[in-house]
Amino acid sequence: MTKGGLGIAAMSYVAIDYMRYVSPVWHSRLMPVLWSVLAIAVVTRVLFYKHWSKELRAAIPFLGSIVFLLCALLFEALCVRSVTAVLGLDWHRETPPLPDTGQWFLLALNESLPGTLVEILRAHIIGLHHFLMLFIMLGFSVVFDSVKAPGLGLGARYIFTMGVGRLLRAITFVSTILPSARPWCASARFNNVPYQPHRWAQKYYVPYANDPAAIRKLLHWDAAYADPGSYIGDYRADWGSMSFLSEFLRPSYSEGSSWFALLKKAGGGCNDLMYSGHMLVAVLTAMAWTEAYGGFSSAMIWLFVAHSAQREIRERHHYTVDCIVAIYVGILLWKMTGFIWSAERKTKQTKLEKIQNSLIHAAKDGDIETVRRLVEEIEVSSRVEKQSKVISNRTMTVFACATVITTLTIVILALTLTSDG
- What's residue 354's pLDDT? 62
Of the ranges 108-112, 135-139, 391-395, the best mean pLDDT one: 108-112
Digit-coded pLDDT (tens) for 90-99: 898 889 999 9
- What's residue 312's pLDDT? 95
- What's residue 346's pLDDT? 52
- What's residue 186's pLDDT? 84
Q: Are 281 and 128 in contact (CB under 8 A)?
A: yes
Judged against a pLDDT cut of 90, whether residue 360 lies above it is answered with no
CA distances for 394 relative to 52, 53, 63, 337, 390, angstroms? 11, 12, 22, 33, 7
How many CA atoms lie less than 13 Å away from 277 in the CB half-sphere? Answer: 23
Digit-coded pLDDT (tens) for 18-73: 999 999 999 999 998 998 898 888 888 887 888 888 888 888 999 999 999 999 99
Helix (H) / strand (E) element for 342: namely none
- What's residue 421's pLDDT? 44
DSSP 76-143: HHHHHHHHHHTTHHHHHHHSPPPP-HHHHHHHHHHHHS-HHHHHHHHS----HHHHHHHHHHHHHGGG
Digit-coded pLDDT (tens) for 262-277: 887 766 778 899 889 9
Judged against a pLDDT cut of 70, whether residue 416 lies above it is answered with no
Judged against a pLDDT cut of 80, whether residue 82 lies above it is answered with yes
Beta-carbon count within 10 A of 330 CB: 25
C-alpha 193/C-alpha 201 separation (Å) is 15
- Model pTM? 0.84
Q: Average pLDDT of 389-407? A: 71
Question: Which of 44-53, 171-180, 196-205 shows the lowest mean pLDDT across its residues?
Answer: 44-53
Q: Are 178 and 271 in contact (CB under 8 A)?
A: yes
Q: Are 399 and 58 in contact (CB under 8 A)?
A: no
Contacts of 246 (CB under 8 A, 6+ apart): 234, 235, 236, 237, 239, 256, 259
Digit-coded pLDDT (tens) for 314-349: 999 999 999 999 999 999 999 999 888 776 655 444
Judged against a pLDDT cut of 60, whether residue 365 lies above it is answered with yes
- What's residue 3's pLDDT? 57
| Average pLDDT in the chain | 85
- What's residue 347's pLDDT? 47
